[in-house]
């Protein structure tokens, strides 16, 4: 059988970087910056998507960022700013020439401008607002009056709507004669005389229907209206749950004030998933672009909490000093019991936090989920108890020690499954973010129970 031909290195690199920046491109851009070759820099960056340019600016150091922006000059797309990490964005905005900044933000929809400036300092906010036209500035300022993380902050004010009595022909004529349409939109929102949204008509149905057809006869069966004050996480859930493409946003009087599109809703969903992962690890909401001091401040509090819980586990161990002194093997085997319990608890915890975030855990299935995790812990406990029982006999020549660690393993893995499921559910019920606080509690429970079960059984059986 002939060997398969080796993959071409260039093809391998192209496949690896099919979506994103290749190391070769990054090196070429940095070389153009180093040599001050603006024409070469523009030629290299021109084909890149705004998201790729944002990735580039996040990957390189602050010194190279400054030089690249200064050399790039007036060539700066507003979409790049909206794609940037907040920390890098705050660093870059003061570096941009006022005219460049003005041109960049004018290209953005109102929702992107709101996202761009809501976390900036007041001088930077004023600089961006000052670059907008009066109507756009008013729209952005109105959006900023809504609560943070609400649908009002997420929506774009540019919305295509039509009276509910219009026909397809009237709608098409209106779209063709209107100069200021959103760059991208998916629906025409139908409104009644009170300007309340009553239905959505997709552009596909609009273009496929005869001119005399009533728009009201083409509305979609799934239609959701989003209150402007609704939490953005609930909005993202609705989009994902009901497969929405866009949804109108209404004020307190149920009047149409904007629209949320699927790209913004999915960005929120992605941010919430990322936030849950970071919080489960106790690292807050940091990113790789954060500085050393900022990152240290984010992580230190949770390390302090972990230190306190570790002291609690140590106090349990201290109660069995005499037992450990007489049977040194216990000190060797203790970390195994605690580690297995911690890992099992983390597995159950991750599944539970994810299910809570997606609202898959409800009052009707919560006990079934808890029972399943306990059963999984019991089965795994029995399996690994048998393994550790054999290890105890072979390694230390003590069948009794094997029995002790096997029993402790079963107890701790069952408790780990129970704690990993119940703790995040309870925290969510009392209004505490389960992703933020569950990990510490679950680790503490598995450590304390594991040490107490193992050392307690050893004290009873071996002494």
Q: Which helix (H) or strand (E) holds 415?
A: helix 399-429
pLDDT at 187: 93
Backbone phi and psi for residue 246, each to the nearest 5 degrees, phi listed first: -155, 160
pLDDT at 1: 44
CATH ID of 161-280, from 3.10.580.10, 3.40.50.300, 3.40.1190.20, 1.10.3260.10: 3.10.580.10
Delimit the domains of the chain by residue range.
20-145, 161-280, 292-462
Neighbours of 122 (CB within 10 A): 8
In order along the chain (463 residues), what is the average pLDDT of each group of 10 residues? 49 54 88 91 88 89 89 77 81 79 77 79 78 81 88 90 95 90 89 95 94 95 94 90 93 94 87 67 57 70 76 85 83 86 87 81 87 92 88 83 89 92 89 77 88 88 74
Give the integer Cα–Cα distance in Å for 416 and 340: 9
So what's the architecture of 292-462 in CATH?
Answer: Orthogonal Bundle (1.10)
pLDDT at 257: 94
pLDDT at 307: 80
pLDDT at 35: 92
Neighbours of 335 (CB within 10 A): 11
**Residue 111's closest CA among 77, 76, 79, 74?**
79
pLDDT at 277: 65
Backbone phi and psi for residue 73, each to the nearest 5 degrees, phi listed first: 65, -125
Q: Which DSSP symbol is given to 218?
A: G
CATH topology of domain 20-145: MgtE N-terminal fold (1.25.60)
Give the integer Cα–Cα distance in Å for 308 and 243: 45
Identify the residue whose tokens are 């919080």.
279
**Residue 461's closest CA among 413, 394, 401?**
401
**Residue 330's closest CA among 342, 315, 319, 320?**
320
Query: Reduced to 3 states, what is the DSSP secondary structure of residue 244?
Result: coil
**Residue 259's closest CA among 381, 160, 135?**
160
């Amino acid at each position: 059988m002939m060997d398969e031909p080796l993959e071409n290195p260039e093809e391998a690199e192209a496949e690896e970087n099919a979506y994103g920046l290749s190391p070769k491109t990054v090196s070429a851009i940095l070389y153009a910056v180093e040599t001050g070759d603006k024409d070469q820099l523009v030629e290299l960056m021109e084909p890149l998507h705004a998201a790729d340019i944002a990735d580039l600016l996040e990957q390189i150091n602050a010194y190279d960022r400054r030089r690249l922006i200064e050399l790039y000059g007036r060539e700066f797309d507003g979409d790049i700013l909206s794609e940037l990490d907040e920390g890098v964005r705050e660093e870059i905005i003061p570096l941009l020439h006022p005219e460049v900044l003005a041109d960049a933000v004018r290209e953005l929809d109102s929702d992107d401008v709101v996202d761009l400036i809501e976390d900036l300092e007041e001088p930077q906010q004023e600089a961006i607002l000052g670059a907008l036209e009066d109507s756009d500035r008013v729209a952005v300022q109105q959006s900023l009056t809504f609560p943070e993380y609400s649908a009002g902050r997420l929506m774009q004010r540019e919305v295509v709507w039509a009276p509910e009595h219009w026909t397809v022909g009237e709608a098409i004529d209106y779209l063709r004669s209107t100069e200021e349409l959103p760059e991208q939109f998916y629906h025409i929102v139908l409104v009644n005389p009170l300007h309340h949204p009553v239905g959505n008509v997709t552009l596909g149905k609009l273009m496929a229907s005869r001119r005399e057809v009533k728009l009201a006869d083409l509305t979609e069966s799934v239609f959701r209206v989003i209150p402007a004050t609704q939490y953005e996480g609930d909005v993202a859930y609705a989009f994902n749950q009901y497969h929405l493409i866009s949804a109108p946003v209404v004020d307190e009087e149920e009047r149409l004030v904007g629209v949320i599109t699927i790209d913004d809703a999915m960005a929120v969903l992605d941010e919430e998933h990322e936030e849950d992962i970071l919080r489960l690890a106790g690292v807050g909401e940091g990113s790789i672009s954060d500085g050393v001091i900022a990152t240290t401040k984010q992580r230190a509090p949770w390390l302090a909490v972990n230190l306190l819980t570790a002291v609690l586990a140590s106090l349990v161990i201290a109660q069995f000093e005499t037992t450990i002194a007489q049977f040194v093997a216990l000190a060797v085997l203790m970390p195994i019991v605690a580690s297995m319990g911690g890992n099992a608890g983390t597995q159950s915890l991750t599944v539970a936090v994810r299910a809570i975030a997606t609202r898959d855990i409800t009052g009707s299935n919560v006990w079934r989920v808890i029972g399943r995790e306990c059963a999984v812990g019991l089965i795994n406990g029995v399996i690994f108890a048998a393994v550790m029982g054999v290890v105890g006999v072979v390694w230390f020549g003590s069948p009794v020690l094997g029995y002790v660690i096997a029993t402790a393993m079963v107890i701790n893995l069952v408790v780990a499954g129970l704690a990993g499921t119940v703790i995040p559910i309870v925290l969510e019920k009392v209004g505490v973010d389960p992703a933020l606080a569950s990990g510490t509690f679950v680790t503490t429970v598995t450590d304390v129970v594991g040490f107490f079960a193992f050392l307690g059984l050893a004290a009873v059986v071996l002494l």
